[in-house]
Structure 1
Amino acid sequence: MSEVEKMVMIYSTFPDTATAKDVGGKLVDHGLAACVNIIPQMTSIYRWEGALTTDSEAIMLIKTRAALAAKVIAAVEVEHPYDTPALLVFEVTHGAQGYLDWLASQTQA
């Protein structure tokens, strides 16, 4: 797989499913992601501004080309309601070739 065809999965969290669907739809519509998966509810426990915080959040897994990761992060940051959204990029090292080819065909070259 060439550098352009390498795939990544970007993990992010959102305050609710509706916000995640809105942002995810825009990513797919603009060819920045081939697919997003939204897991509707999880509990997050973290320290924010010195206080222990517990929130309900939705998880989004964004599947895209490695070459688009910076554009995806920038696009999510513009749309995201959090001051500091969670955005982590994981390299895809293996996968079903047909699926990887489909991911590449659905995203900007």
Structure 2
Amino acid sequence: MADHLLVMTTTPDQESAARIASSAVARRLAATAQVRGPVASYFWHLGEAGEGEEWIVTFKTTGVRYDELEAHVRAQHPWDKPEVTGIELAHGSADYLRWMEAATAPQG
């Protein structure tokens, strides 16, 4: 069975989060994407501590589609160096994982 991933990014606003989520699913790079926020974020950036509001986008995809999804998120993202992280799913219901594979299968 293919590897299955939870991939995340954060954005500065709901509009950019929704645009990235929607376009990734439309291109079948992710089977689904959820947008949550705003969340309080605390970070180290440009030599100092900062804080702000962010929106979280969580994608469900396969390892086969990860590189294309990462490239898409980076190209669509308003930040120069956005977070794009992936966590391999160790477990999941067989029907759901098969659906993820079918939903992200390259069309051609």
Report the TM-score, using the length of structure 1 for normalisation: 0.92
Whole-Å Cα distance in 2 between the matches of residues 75 and 108 of structure 1? 16
Query: CA offsets, 1:7-35, max 9 Å, x none?
Result: 11111101111111101111000110000
**Kindly, what percent of the aligned residue pairs are identical?**
26
Summarize the alignment of residues 1-109 of structure 1 with structure 2, pairs less than 5 Å apart. 1=1, 5-109=2-106
TM normalised by structure 2 equals: 0.93
Structure 1 residue ranges (4+ consecutive) displaced by more than 3 angstroms after TM superposition: none
Return 5+ residue gaps in structure 1 as ranges. none
| Matches of 2:44 and 2:84, distance apart in 1 | 17
Q: Secondary structure at the match of 2:29?
A: coil
Which amino acid in structure 2 is aligned with residue 8 of structure 1?
Answer: L
What is the alpha-carbon root mean square deviation over aligned residues?
A: 1.0
